[in-house]
């Protein structure tokens, strides 16, 4: 059966309106993404279900690199309660992470005694950003978009985005610690 052109166009328009919307990056949760560990092993975020994850894009040669110390302290303090700090080395800002994975790991362990997990070096901004960061940008808007190294994104135990803080907000700032305590269902101190 052939329909006259205007009627066919209306049918196509009605079908397009009734069709399910395309999936956006903000759909789902962080557990749909994965990284590769700095040692080269798969690191699916689904492996952190039930834990809060503070995802931080890091760099070894940045003025904010000393934040590693406070990140490690947070990890030590709340690890038993379900917090994972996840360092995501990136060379996106000022080329401040130029080394190899081996260089980055050695730097973190030697200078800051880092024991929390690190990923392979990743792009965190622009079109080549890791899918997690594209999702965070859509889910949290400007707050989820790294503008420099040591941007922090908190993911809840269910994989939902909770909040994000810019570089200048220290890992032990009251807002960050309070949000971590809240998602871990701990009394605020």
User: Active-site residue numbers?
Assistant: 62
Angle, CA 188 vertex, CA 183 and CA 189 arms, to 5°: 140
Contact 148, 167 (CB under 8 A): yes
- The neighbour count for residue 97, using CB atoms within 10 Å, is 24
- Side-chain-side CA neighbours of residue 39 (13 Å): 6
**Which residue is associated with the tokens 């922090």?**
152
* CA 176 – CA 170 distance, rounded (Å): 8
**Alpha helices by DSSP H, 79-173:** 101-112, 131-140
Can you list the positions of beta strands (E) in 67-135? 83-89
Contact 90, 119 (CB under 8 A): no
* CA 72 – CA 136 distance, rounded (Å): 23
- Tokens read off for 7: 């009627």
Angle, CA 133 vertex, CA 164 and CA 114 arms, to 5°: 70
């Amino acid at each position: 059966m052939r329909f006259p052109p205007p009627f066919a166009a209306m049918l196509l328009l009605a079908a397009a309106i009734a069709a399910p919307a395309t999936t956006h990056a903000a759909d789902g949760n962080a557990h749909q993404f994965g990284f590769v560990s700095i040692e080269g092993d798969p690191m699916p975020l689904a492996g952190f279900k039930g834990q809060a994850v503070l995802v931080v894009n890091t760099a070894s040669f940045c003025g904010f690199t000393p934040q590693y110390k406070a990140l490690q302290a947070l990890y030590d303090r709340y690890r038993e309660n379900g917090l994972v700090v996840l360092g995501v080395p990136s060379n996106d800002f000022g080329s401040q992470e130029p080394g190899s994975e081996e260089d980055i790991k050695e730097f973190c362990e030697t200078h800051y005694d880092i024991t929390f997990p690190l990923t392979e070096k990743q792009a965190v901004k622009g079109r080549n950003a890791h899918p997690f960061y594209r999702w965070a940008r859509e889910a949290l808007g400007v707050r989820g978009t790294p503008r420099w190294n040591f941007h922090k994104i908190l993911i809840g135990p269910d994989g939902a985005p909770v909040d994000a803080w810019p570089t200048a907000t220290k890992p032990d700032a009251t807002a960050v610690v309070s949000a971590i305590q809240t998602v871990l269902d701990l009394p605020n101190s």
